[in-house]
Structure 1
Amino acid sequence: MKNDSFETIIARSLALREKYHSLEVEHHGSEWTVEEDALAFLTDAALVGRNIMSQQNRWPKSNSEKELEHKLGESIWWLIVLAERSEIDIKQAVRNFLDKTEGMMPG
C-alpha cells in the first residue's frame, strides 16, 4: 500500500500490535506491558544506530541496508504503539514538536 496517509499507517500499526498481543497471550499467558513495549522499542532504536554505523562503514555487518530500513519502520511503529498505549495523540505530538522547534529556529 504505497502512499498511505499517516492516519492509515496509525490504524495499521495498532491493528498489527493487537495481533502481537494475541501471540503474547498464546505464548506467555499475558500481553506485554507498556514498559515491555518501551524496552522493545529501545532495543530496535539501538539497532538503528548500529545499522547506521554499518551503512557508513564504521561497523562491519552485512545486510545492514535492508535491516536498517526494517528497523527504521519498526521504530516508527513502536512510537505509534507507545503513544496509543500512553493515551497520546501521536499526530498532535509531532505537530506540537514541530511548532515548538520551528519557533525556536532563527529566520
Structure 2
Amino acid sequence: MNLEELVNRSEAIRSAYHQLELKQDGHAWTIEQDTLAFQSDAGLVSRLVMADQGSWPTDVKEPTLDYKIAECIWWLSSIATASDVNLEEALEHFMSEREQQLK
C-alpha cells in the first residue's frame, strides 16, 4: 500500500467511525479524543513489546503487536488529516532533515 492509499483508506474508516460515534455519543469524536485514543493504542504497543521481550507478563494473544502498530499508523494518518497536515510532505521533510543531520 502506498501512502496516498493509506491516507484515503484511513479517511474512509475514520468517517465510518464518526457515524458510529454519532449514534453512540450524539457527536463525532473531536481531534482531542482521537489523540487520546491514539495514545492509548501507543501505550498498548509498548506493553506488547515488553511482553514479547519477557518484561511484561501476559497470556493475552490479542491484540497482536503488528495489529496495534498498524492501528497507531491509522490513527496518525487520521490525526494528520484532521489537522490539515499533508502526511507525505511531513514525512518527506522529516526524513530529509534527519538524513542531512546524520551525514
TM-score band w.r.t. shorter chain: over 0.9
Q: How many percent of aligned residue pairs carry the same amino acid?
A: 37
Question: What does residue 52 of structure 1 align with?
Answer: 49
Q: Which runs of 5+ in 1 are unaligned?
A: none
- After superposition, the C-alpha distances for 1:72-93 in whole angstroms (9 at most, x for unaligned) are 0000000000000000001111
Which residue of 67, 71, 79 maps to 1:70? Answer: 67
| Structure 2 residue identity aligned to 1:19 | A
Q: Which runs of 5+ in 2 are unaligned?
A: none
Question: What does residue 36 of structure 1 align with?
Answer: 33
> After TM superposition, where is structure 1 displaced by more than 2 Å over at least 4 residues in a row?
none
Which gives a bigger RCO, structure 1 or 2 (Cα 8 Å, sep 6+)? 2
- State the TM-score, normalizing by the size of structure 1: 0.91
Question: What does residue 90 of structure 1 align with?
Answer: 87
* Structure 1 residue 59, shift from structure 2 partner: 0.7
Which residue of 8, 13, 16 maps to 2:5? Answer: 8
- State the TM-score, normalizing by the size of structure 2: 0.94
Question: What does residue 99 of structure 1 align with?
Answer: 96
Aligned-residue CA RMSD (Å): 1.1
Matched, 1:80 2:92: no
Matched, 1:19 2:1: no
Alpha-carbon distance between aligned partners in 2 of 1:76 and 1:61, rounded to the nearest angstrom: 24
